[in-house]
Amino acid sequence: MWIFYFIIGIAYTFYMFSYAFENIALQKPSYQRHRYENIQEALTKASNAVDGEKSNLSVWGGQCVISDINKQSALLWVNLTSILSIDHITIYFRTENKMWAPTYGMIHRVLGFSLYVSNTTDKSEGTLCFKDTNFTLSTIPSIFNVTCPVHGQYVIYYNERLPGVTYPDGYSKDAHNDLCEVEVYGCPNPGYYGNNCSIPCPDPQCKYCDLETGTCRGGCNPGYQGHKCELACPNGTFGFGCVNHCNNTCRGCNTVNGLCDAGCYPGWRGVYCHQICSTGYYGDNCSMKCGYCLNDETCHHINGSCLSGCGIGYQAPFCTNECYNDTYGQDCAETCGHCSDSKPCHHINGSCVNGCAPGFKGTRCVEECDMGHYGIRCLQECSSFCKMSRDCHHVTGYCKDGCKSGWQGNDCLEEYKPLDSSNNLPPTFYIVLGLFCASLLLNGLFVAYIITLRKSRDIKVYKPELSFKKKNAGQDGEAEYDSVNEGYQELGVLGISMRTYDTLQ
């Protein structure tokens, strides 16, 4: 019987080789659990299973994988390095180059084995291609072939002998690998099908297509959906089958992998926008720095507001500006004092850095000068002649209630001198006297003007050459003449008597 199965196995192997599928496991990375360490590693290492050598199937040939004894499980996997289309798998068991017969001591070790194809090294996440439940010492072939039209990256061989479990007759008491070659046939490149893997799959966004027919198998590539995988995922979804939802903090995510290619909404960061801004930052791209929040608390990661209020000396809501409008302290609720030159006080403690305005003292300049002092730094002393001694205004120094008797002025430093009847006439006397003198002067000028005007209008006499008549000589012997006023013309008098004229003359 065993000869029959051996011949069938050989025939099936040649049948499979008639196809042009490649051994995509050749020289790929491999791993085995519990390597047999009592001999040199080169004779038992995992890579012997994918070296393409199967001419010497004994432990000393250096072409087989051998696991340790007395183990409850045996595992070996081959990494195809990418997810590829698989058609069938062929395994060459260790024969020690002897006839494969029920009496051969290695057969019982491989009974009950399993084959998985997975995208990870975890067999439970993959597809079970084969599980031995029927082979016996007489029926299991030395070269095992199984068709497994799936897609995956890891081909996993597994066997176990668990305590408390009753296994069929012929099974070894512990688990072993004892494999000399693991061949995985399929297409070396994804997206192709056919006997020589040269025909592109008809649906570009199909995850995998059937190696024989090219029909879509395994669903669509991430980010696509539809019967032919021709539809991109709707906005806000991504991944296989478009069943994953983008974070609502993402401006727009990649339909394939969910990455936030368009960036995050304010207050969020990370490739998936699932992390809030780091402590002390907020806003778009988390690039804004928080203000001075109360008790050094961090601000709101989106809008930057300080939820518990501002630290002393800063304005709400962002607590980035210092107090203004002559305020200071917690929430800028305190009012500055009277600082010098009207400068603002310190935004935290309210102190006047450059001193106080006249009339005030203290670090905050809210205290008035002590009684009896006023002015800059309260160094001036009030007058002792104030009605209430040294009780003056703290800024100007003016006596609040007037002066003591005998003193006058705002600061009561001028001596009071009352007016007397002889020497100190009231001001109204001098005013009346001045007006009287001015009146006399004006009257005199007016009279002079009138006189001058009248003189210019008096009678004027025209006198031509006088002719004389000789009269008899007088007693003194001198001749006397009578004057003759020929051509005399009376011009008239303007109403002013000669007497008056002569008087004025």
Report yes or no: 380 and 373 within 8 Å, Cβ to Cβ: yes
409 lies in some domain: no
Q: Which of 386, 505, 407 is nearest to 454 (CA)?
A: 505
Range of lowest pLDDT (128-137, 382-391, 456-465): 456-465
161 lies in some domain: yes
* Band of pLDDT at residue 18, cut at 50, 70 and 90: very low
Q: Which residues contact 392 (CB under 8 A, 6 or more apart)?
A: 372, 374, 382, 383, 386, 398, 399, 400, 411
Q: List C-alpha distances in Å: 187 to 83, 86, 149, 152, 197.
A: 10, 7, 11, 12, 6
- The counts of H helices and E strands in the chain are 4, 30
What SS3 class is residue 106? Answer: coil
What Rg do the C-alpha atoms of the chain give, in angstroms?
66
Q: What is the pLDDT of residues 189-226, one digit of tens each?
A: 888 888 788 888 888 888 788 888 888 877 888 999 88
Cα–Cα distance, 117 to 75 (Å, whole number): 13
DSSP readout, 302-342?
TT---TT-BPTTB-TTT--SBP-SSEESGGG-EEP--BGGG
Single out the residue in 188, 217, 235 at which a domain terminates.
188
343 lies in some domain: no
CATH number at residue 172: 2.60.120.260
DSSP readout, 216-248?
EEEEEPTTEESTTS-EEPPTTEESGGG-EE--T
Q: Which of 193, 233, 238, 191 is nearest to 212 (CA)?
A: 193
| Amino acid in position 161 | R
Indicate if the pLDDT at residue 503 is higher than 80. no
Q: How, if at all, do strands 199-200 and 206-209 pair?
A: unpaired
- pLDDT, averaged across the chain: 83
- pTM of the model as a whole: 0.49
Q: List C-alpha distances in Å: 337 to 266, 341, 374, 376, 392.
A: 41, 12, 17, 15, 21
49 lies in some domain: yes
Indicate if the pLDDT at residue 43 is higher than 50. yes
Burial 190-214 (b: 16+ CB within 10 A, else e): bbbbbeebeeebebebbbbbbbeeb
Q: How, if at all, do strands 224-225 and 231-232 pair?
A: antiparallel
Residue with tokens 């305190």: 334
The two structure tokens encoding residue 144: 């095992």
395 lies in some domain: no
Q: Which residues contact 328 (CB under 8 A, 6 or more apart)?
A: 313, 334, 335, 336, 345, 346, 347, 348, 349, 350
Select the highest-mean-pLDDT range: 7-16, 43-52, 407-416. Answer: 43-52
Report yes or no: 362 and 378 within 8 Å, Cβ to Cβ: no
Give the domain extent around 112: 2-188
The proportion of the chain whose per-residue pLDDT surpasses 90, expressed as a percent, equals 45
Q: What is the pLDDT of residues 53-105, one digit of tens each?
A: 999 999 999 999 999 999 999 999 999 999 999 999 999 999 999 999 888 87
Q: What is the pLDDT of residues 253-290, one digit of tens each?
A: 999 999 999 999 999 999 999 999 999 899 999 999 99
DSSP readout, 453-474?
HHHTTS--------EEEEE---
Single out the residue in 143, 163, 188 at which a domain terminates.
188
271 lies in some domain: no
Q: What is the pLDDT of residues 140-198, one digit of tens each?
A: 999 999 999 888 999 999 999 999 999 999 999 999 999 999 999 999 988 888 878 88
Single out the residue in 188, 214, 244 at which a domain terminates.
188
Which residue has better confidence, 1 or 231? Answer: 231
Cα–Cα distance, 120 to 216 (Å, whole number): 22
DSSP readout, 25-81?
TTT--EEESSB--SS-GGGT-GGGGGSS--S--SGGGT--B-BPSS-SEEEEEEEEE
Q: How many CB atoms lie within 10 A of CB 93?
A: 22
Report yes or no: 92 and 42 within 8 Å, Cβ to Cβ: no
163 lies in some domain: yes
Q: Which of 152, 148, 94, 156 is nearest to 123 (CA)?
A: 156
Residue with tokens 């006596």: 399
Cα–Cα distance, 4 to 24 (Å, whole number): 30
Residue ranges with strand state E in 365-427: 367-368, 373-374, 380-381, 407-408, 414-415
| Amino acid in position 415 | E
Which residue has better confidence, 476 or 353? Answer: 353
Q: List C-alpha distances in Å: 1 to 6, 15, 93, 135, 179.
A: 9, 21, 19, 13, 23
| Amino acid in position 309 | G
Q: What is the pLDDT of residue 426?
A: 60
Q: What is the pLDDT of residue 474?
A: 44
Give the mean pLDDT of 389-407.
90
The two structure tokens encoding residue 206: 């199909």
Q: What is the pLDDT of residues 383-393, one digit of tens each?
A: 888 988 888 99
411 lies in some domain: no
Q: How many structural domains are present in the chain?
A: 2
| 499 sits in which H/E element | helix 498-504
